[in-house]
Amino acid sequence: MRVWIVFLLCLAGHAMAAPTEEEAIVEDPIVEEPVVEEELVAEETFEEEPVVEEPEVGANPVQVEIGEFDEAIEVVEDVVAENPCLNHHCKKGKVCEVDDSNTPMCVCQDPTTCPAADGEFEHVCGTDNKTYDTSCHFFATKCTLEGTKKGHKLHLDYIGPCKYIEPCMDSELNEFPLRMRDWLKNVLVTLYERDEENNLLTEKQKLRVKKIYENEKRLQAGEHSLDLLAHDFQKNYNMYIFPVHWQFGQLDQHPVDGYLTHTELAPLRAPLIPMEHCTTRFFEECDSDSDKYIALEEWAACFGIKEQDIDKDLVV
């Protein structure tokens, strides 16, 4: 968690950068939600998940602090010890209050009580194509719309002010996993280099990443042509198997059931959309059976991992 923001600044723009000869990529709003929340503007691809108390998602440089954007996360209100709200949890957008019998209950937060944004970087864009000052303002507003059709469709789409996201063409969609695979590999290598008793990776994960890190054939981080990325994937295919499985495990957290919902994808999607305009379409098409859930098999196939190399043990 403590390295997310630093890594987001260092890696998101560097490791995922498109080839120099291509134009900078902007993103395509997603249809469904959470954030991290969300989903994109026109049609929703993933259904909103029932609110459950989630554990923290692992230390992934691209993932922002989940508590800031994920409506499924629960927070504790700061109250005096005598107040029953002290140990009463409310989801994002709600605050704890006590009724006449001193029983704690969660009620929608008044958006006007949210702290003002310190800068433009705190703005978020909803699937209604509206920019909200902060995630607090967004979730408080969403809470007031609970039970309505508009509220059901409203999700946090991506981090930052709303902007035009150009359409993702077929040729660009085919290029997206090339950069994404390389980026995931470099994220893991960076975590391995900086771990040093910070528990960023488990011991089993360190052993797997160590093999990648020490491999002399590893393509170093940097801006590479699409041809080079494609060639490296074919030549050093085995180096990409674990990073793809690892990212799935980082997202499959609430609950851990072998499927990714829109809410679980949010920590990864929300920061990527403004930089990679094919993010939305990529995750939509990963759901090959259109059941609004991405299974491990579907996820692996999206990244070019062969069926015989899919191993649920690598997700843990």
Say which CATH number the domain at 193 has.
1.10.238.10
Domain count, the chain: 2
Q: What one-character DSSP code corresponds to residue 217?
A: T
Q: Which domain, by its residues, includes 155? A: 94-159
> The dihedral of CA 297, 300, 305, 309: what is its sign?
negative
Residues 208, 256, single domain; the answer is yes
Report whether pLDDT(18) > 60: no
Q: What is the CA radius of gyration of the chain?
A: 20
**Mean pLDDT on 16-38:** 43
In a domain, 86, yes or no: no
pLDDT at position 307 is 96
Cα dist. 105→9, 84, 151, 218, 315 in Å? 38, 9, 21, 54, 37
The tens digit of pLDDT for each residue in 260-278 reads 998 899 889 999 999 999 9
In a domain, 239, yes or no: yes
Asked if residues 39 and 155 have their Cβ atoms less than 8 Å apart, the reply is yes
The tens digit of pLDDT for each residue in 176-186 reads 999 999 999 99
Model-level pTM? 0.68
Last residue within a domain, chosen from 159, 181, 208: 159
